[in-house]
Amino acid sequence: MSSTPEATTGGTQSRPRLARWFVPRQLPVPINPALMKHQEERAMDVQNRIADQITRFSGSMTFVYIHILWFGLWIGLGVEKYPFGLLTMIVSLEAIFLSTFVMISQNRADAKRQVIADEQWTTVKLEDQQNEQLLDLSKQILHLTQELRTYADVVHGAGVENRKQNEELLTLSKQALEVTSEVRSHLSTAGSTEAK
């Protein structure tokens, strides 16, 4: 069984050919959690749902086909004489309302863009905080490494097996290992955050 691009759309079954031509297609469901939440909040208001349905319908080919049929019948059946004053008035009023719905649609698109921009800004701030923490941990590692080298040089240069210095050297090594472990855990956390 072959599938065409119209056969399946986002997991939905194919519609009859006539329905594909005349019934407006549903918008895809957003996968971004912020947009999903925005869509749910918008759907709570009845006015928004009505405006969305009108905008979706008036921006479809179904709307065009209905108008072609309507104008053809109006003129062809001679509902009124030329210059079609009533038809002109009806179409003018319709244009006024449709331009309002176009503005509503633009406002909705702006709101979606704002939601995405806010989410991206939050992610950038979180990444900046993680980068600052990683930089601080890297500085601590560098400082501990320098101290280790200094103690190692003192112990090696003096040729003295001083137990106290060896214990301090061991303590510094453990601290460096702990800081390194913290850096690794922060890197893995940052990596998993970026993957999301």
How confident is the model over 53-71, as pLDDT tens digits?
888 888 888 888 889 999 9
Q: Which pLDDT score, from 0 to 100, does residue 1 have?
A: 40
Q: Which spans in 12-162 are helix H?
A: 17-22, 33-43, 46-58, 61-76, 85-158
Tell me if 175 sits within 8 A of 126, measured CB to CB: no
User: How many domains does the chain fold into?
Assistant: 1
Domain of 138, in residue numbers: 17-22+33-195
| Residue 166 within any structural domain of the chain | yes
Mean pLDDT (whole number) for 106-118: 80
| Residue 9 within any structural domain of the chain | no
| Residue 10 within any structural domain of the chain | no
Distance separating alpha carbons of residues 108 and 106, to the nearest angstrom = 5
| Most confident by average pLDDT, 31-45, 131-145, 155-169 | 131-145
Residues above pLDDT 70, as percent of the chain:
77
| Residue 152 within any structural domain of the chain | yes
Average pLDDT, the chain: 77
| Residue 140 within any structural domain of the chain | yes
Q: Structure pTM?
A: 0.46
Of 78-92, 121-135, 140-154, the poorest mean pLDDT is in 140-154
Q: Which pLDDT score, from 0 to 100, does residue 136 have?
A: 87
Per-position b or e across 96-111, b if 16+ CB within 10 A of its CB: eeeeebeebbeebeee
| Residue 2 within any structural domain of the chain | no
Q: Is the peptide bond before 30 cis (omega within 30 degrees of 0)?
A: no
How many residues are given for the chain?
A: 196
| Residue 27 within any structural domain of the chain | no
Q: Which DSSP symbol is given to 79?
A: S
| Residue 8 within any structural domain of the chain | no
pLDDT band at 23 (very low <50, low <70, confident <90, very high): low
